[in-house]
Structure 1
């Protein structure tokens, strides 16, 4: 299989993406050390109609929603300008996927517009929210695992293979589809951010004394999974930003 020439031409700066991820990680870690965890992860308001803390309005959850909102706008703009059938199909899938994630993360607006949960959601949602990802692992873990698989294959394996195999990656056609090296940093930082939770689970299962007695690395951060999801959603922003720049460059140089 041959590689489409100049597939990465016009791409965004990999260095700047690394710096952006490093800055974001530093902000979260500094906040985790300096701020009460309730401010960083949970916010200060309560769920509508309940006394429980509203997790949706914490710094981490708000950052996730901002990244997803930006990605949704970017996907919509690229979809409107797509000039091939397969590109329109792919960007339509991305748009709907990001819309699903944003809707589910915000419980489709519940925590901002503050309606109480009742009916089917009150009976089937384990957090009493108007979303479906808390009703079944099918709607929670499956989308998350599919996203992680795409990030690993497209964001790590493909660009690294392309680097070391002189331009031949895992997904070379169509030329615009696969992530570029610019998408590697958010994937790496997603793994780094989620590492404390994974290490806690591994060391607890291994019977390490401190962990069986209740010690947790994640206790120093609060909720590592929320920081991890921030970088997972930032991946969408970087991917769409990269795609838009490469499409613009190719259009300008092949017109």
Structure 2
């Protein structure tokens, strides 16, 4: 593997790991910090939106690279569709995070939506059918997504060549070690509930919501890194094909 692959270097994981840990320490910074970071349309949510838009843009660029070089790389149309679907998925989550600009543009929620939306906002992830589901809430569905896409598939591909060859034909496969950062973030969700349960005291935002904002920020950042890895991976393959003549 090319030595310029930052995603294979320990320093990347040290920096990202420390950042993830730091974001959870903010829970103990007091009410002023909580008021700055956690409410809707404040720092964490705004950064989440920006990261998701960037991630969507990176994945769209990966799609363009794969499509432009589809004959040389022999890229299956399903894999091209997977790149495009991922890009649209990230843009969709970005829109959901800000309720599609509802609060920014001061748009009232239609009564028909408000009646079936837990937060009376113009979005899908807060609809009662998802919000009050034990297994199919948007939060749980997103967990299924990253666990399968960023952890299980890369890990299985690392040890099972036939699976890697089959899956790699139809979907982009992330770098296995990045899955460990997703698991680290998940672990700190659980750890933070124990550590900060008796410390966090900001009454406007419950601890569970503050932790949710934190974990989402980290997951979105890791997905941005994953999209950057896909671009690097594609450029390496394109360069290798060009070298072959």
Check the 8 A contact 2:17/2:181 in 1, yes or no: no
Distance 1:154 1:218 in 2: 35
Aligned to 2:200: 219
Aligned to 2:52: 68
Distance 1:157 1:9 in 2: 25
What residue ranges of structure 2 are gaps of 5+ in the alignment?
Answer: none
Q: Following TM superposition, by how much is the alpha carbon of 1:105 offset from its aligned partner in structure 2, in angstroms? A: 0.7
Pick aligned residue for 1:253 from 213, 230, 240: 240
For residues 153-190 of structure 1, the C-alpha deviation after alignment (integer angstroms, 9 at most, x for no partner) is 34333444555x3x638544326622212422430232
Aligned to 2:151: 156
Confirm or deny that 1:59 pairs with 2:43.
yes
Confirm or deny that 1:236 pairs with 2:223.
yes
Check the 8 A contact 1:28/1:227 in 2, yes or no: yes
SS of residue matched to 1:216: coil
Q: Following TM superposition, by how much is the alpha carbon of 1:240 offset from its aligned partner in structure 2, in angstroms? A: 0.9
SS of residue matched to 1:181: coil
Distance 1:147 1:73 in 2: 20
Distance 2:162 2:48 in 1: 30
Pick aligned residue for 2:36 from 31, 36, 39: 39
CA gap 1:218/1:73 in 2 versus in 1, 3 angstroms: farther
- TM-score normalised by L of structure 1: 0.72
Confirm or deny that 1:147 pairs with 2:120.
no
- TM-score normalised by L of structure 2: 0.74
Aligned to 1:99: 91
The size of the alignment, in residue pairs, is 220
Confirm or deny that 1:109 pairs with 2:101.
yes
CA gap 1:10/1:138 in 2 versus in 1, 3 angstroms: farther
Q: Following TM superposition, by how much is the alpha carbon of 1:110 offset from its aligned partner in structure 2, in angstroms? A: 1.4
Correspondences of 1:132-211 after superposition (within 5 Å): 132-138=124-130, 141-163=136-158, 165=159, 168=161, 170-173=163-166, 174=168, 177-196=172-191
Distance 1:29 1:226 in 2: 10
